[in-house]
Chain A
Amino acid sequence: MRYTTFLIRRFLQVIPVLFGLSVLIFVLARVVPGNPARMALGPRASDEAVAQLEAEMRLDEPIWYQYLAYLEGITRGELGHSITTGRDVAADIVIFFPATLELVILAMLIALVLGIPLGIISALNKDKWEDNLSRGIAFIGVSMPVFWAAILLQLFFAFNLGLFPSTGRYGDIEYTRITGMLLLDSILTLNVDAFRNVLWHLWLPAFSLSLAPLADITRMTRSSFIEEYNKEYVDGLRSHSIPEKLLVSKYVFKRSSTSTLTIAGLDFGFLIGGAFLVEIVFSYPGMARYGVNAILNNDINAVVGVTLFIGLVYLLANFFVDVMYGYLDPRVRKQGDAQ
């Protein structure tokens, strides 16, 4: 299969992009005003102490040299020392990121599971009340800022109705940490109580985070479905007596899901950004507080590390989208052959 070569090549493309991103963010972090060493030590520290910390952080060296040293660190799995937590940034990411990833994945699942059917129902009932309803939902989802939606949902469901906890990630439960993604961990350890508890906590943040991508996916699915549904091959297959339900669920659906997938891939980036806001609203212990603190304290290693890592996740998500393209459209696979 030549398609695998295509995929490998496509995967390797992640590396130069990541490299470019790392140069950009590395330089940016160092040229913004404010001395990281001074920020770390506070205004009362002596100039000697600042100079010493600068030397420790290699800030007195030329920037390209710093960068090479940074790359060398990466090969050892180190992303530099964080001045706020005192740990290596890589270790911090391992601690904080799984929570965010869990939130983002659940939000994406909600968006897909609700958005695709909503879009299809909308398309099949174009301009009828079902369509207007789903377009209304999509409109609200797109126009409402994520933190605002989060606050409203929190007020209503957590404070007024008391159906969900208002903050936190889990209650009074025991769990074993394996991946750091608590839902996954509780499944792996067959811990039903923990699973339910974590899901109960996760539900509101994930739902508020999913609103905007849900709207995007609904709208995109609707429009691409309508477009595909009017294609000639649908008429052709219909005239060969393929039942309408099969036409919709197989032939039209497969073609239209390419666009859905594209928008889902793009939304993945939004989700990570939105997760920062949602995490703050729900005091959810993920990357957000860590990232925000890093920026406020000019913790350059943490900023670079977090950004790079998010970039990596985003690239991988879109690599996955590309793999799915190949699955959905044979012509994409052949393009791989031609290259």
Chain B
Amino acid sequence: MTKETIIDVSDLSVHFSSYEGRHRVLNGVDLTIGDGETVALVGETGCGKSVTAKTIMGTLRRPPAEVVEGTVSFRGQNLLDDPSLHTEIQSNHMSMIFQDPMSHLSPVFTIGEMMTDVLHYHREEGLSWRRLLTGAFRRKKPVNNEAYREQCIEMLERLQIPDPAGVMNRYPDELSGGMRQRVLIAMALLNEPDFLVADEPTTALDVTVQEQILELLESRIVEEDLSMLYITHNLGVARKLADRIYVMYAGTIVETGETQEVFDDPLHPYSRGLIESIPKLTGFGSSGIPGGIPDYTQPPRGCRFYPRCPAYIEGTCDSEPPRGFEVDGREVHCYLYDDEPDLETAIEIAEDEVDYLDYGATQGDTSFATGSEESS
């Protein structure tokens, strides 16, 4: 990669402890994001996308989560070893936007109050109780600070929010879903981040609004020169936004590559299934992937996908997790490509081996053959 790496996640394993036992959620995730690059992380619900994002952001609750192995580094600085460094880098360089803008804003404070608080406090590391108390009784609260207000209003304007000064005095439930998401993005951009994590920010919105938000996000990324990790289960959005794409399944990365390449010729059986299961306007012949995400307390040995895989090789797939095999600059974690063939051979292999329609018929599962969107 020619661009400088901004985020480097390497061999990350995160486990969760609960009453049912240990959930081995992330299992050796490798992910890099270059400066100014937009990378999409796709996969079905519950496959560990948000856990990856939270680990990068440092907002993972530990316990119950525990980072067993691996590193996350920002411009070469390892973040996981030093929580205070992580917080500092996060508050100055990273931001996150979320799926549901309603539940991610406090319903009892005005937009302005929250935004000015972010501006006022986001660089305060060791905020003392005493300063907080004196701050609370001071008449000059952040929300009344003209400079802060101006800055917030300007940010809201940049996100094309009509009547930004009025919005500052409103509560989140007085705004529409699209407006709330804009506000959330504005809040995320207040600390002028270099790196933005977007965790399915358009999922809760209807399609027309979704389009607007995406365009807005795209323009912001260009103008503010942001790198972004875009998490989604919506492949169409991933295709529209991302330079590169990571396909994730059950806490492992199964395939990575340039977005267009992956979409044109998905190699991993899971990526193929995922892309084939996008409903098409012509005909109902699309397939799905039978089965569901495995139980994380007892994940399958070897490749985590093999119980659902139409190209499952007995004795190989269920022994060791496949390492990443390189195919024409892409990385595929699948034993089908263990001799690292060139692209054409790889495509041939993929077309021969991976056939969900037949596979589904042998599994006796009818729900997917009729074209359900995505199994989740």
Binding site for B on A (CB under 8 A): 231-233, 235-243, 245-246, 249-251, 254-255, 328-331
Contacts and interface: CB of A to CB of B under 8 A. Distances in A.
Contacts of B109: 251, 254
Given A235-B59, A246-B132, 12 more contacts: A233-B106, A235-B104, A237-B118, A239-B90, A240-B118, A240-B190, A241-B122, A243-B124, A245-B127, A249-B132, A251-B106, A329-B108
A242 B117 contact: yes
Interface in B147-189: 171, 173, 184, 187-188
B173 A331 contact: yes
Nearest to A251: B106
Chain B CB within 10 Å — which of A241, A242, A250 has the most? Answer: A241
Given A236-B184, A238-B59, A330 B122 contact: no
B127 A243 contact: yes
Nearest to A329: B108
19 contacts: A232-B100, A232-B103, A233-B104, A235-B59, A236-B96, A239-B90, A240-B95, A240-B122, A240-B187, A241-B91, A241-B123, A243-B121, A243-B125, A245-B128, A251-B109, A255-B108, A329-B108, A330-B107, A331-B107
A231 B103 CA distance: 8
B105 A246 contact: no
A328 B117 contact: no
Nearest to B128: A245
Interface residues of B, number: 36
Contacts of A330: 107-108, 171
Chain A CB within 10 Å — which of B109, B123, B129, B190 has the most? Answer: B109
Contacts of A250: 117, 136
Given A231-B103, A232-B98, A232-B100, A241 B191 contact: yes
A241 B118 contact: yes
A251 B129 CA distance: 15
Contacts of B121: 241-243, 246
A158 to B, nearest CB: 36
A330 B106 CA distance: 11
B127 A246 contact: yes
B108 to A, nearest CB: 5
B317 interface: no
Contacts of B171: 330-331
Interface in B76-124: 87, 90-91, 95-96, 98, 100, 103-109, 114, 117-118, 121-124
For the complex, would chain A's binding face be called helix, strand, loop or mixed by DSSP majority?
helix
A255 B109 CA distance: 10
A180 to B, nearest CB: 33
B47 interface: no
Given A232-B103, A236-B104, A329-B108, A241 B90 contact: yes
B57 interface: yes
B108 A254 contact: yes
Interface in B172-226: 173, 184, 187-188, 190-191
Contact of B106 (A237, A245, A249): A237
A249 B129 CA distance: 9
Nearest to A255: B108
Nearest to B94: A239
Contacts of A331: 107-108, 171, 173
A239 B201 CA distance: 15
Given A233-B103, A245-B132, A328-B108, A240 B191 contact: yes
B36 to A, nearest CB: 22
A242 B104 contact: no
B151 to A, nearest CB: 14
B84 to A, nearest CB: 12
Nearest to A254: B108
B334 to A, nearest CB: 34
Nearest to A258: B108
Contacts of A233: 103-107
Contact of A246 (B104, B117, B125, B188): B117
B192 to A, nearest CB: 12
Contacts of A254: 108-109
4 tightest Cβ-Cβ pairs between the two chains A and B: A241-B91, A236-B104, A241-B122, A232-B103
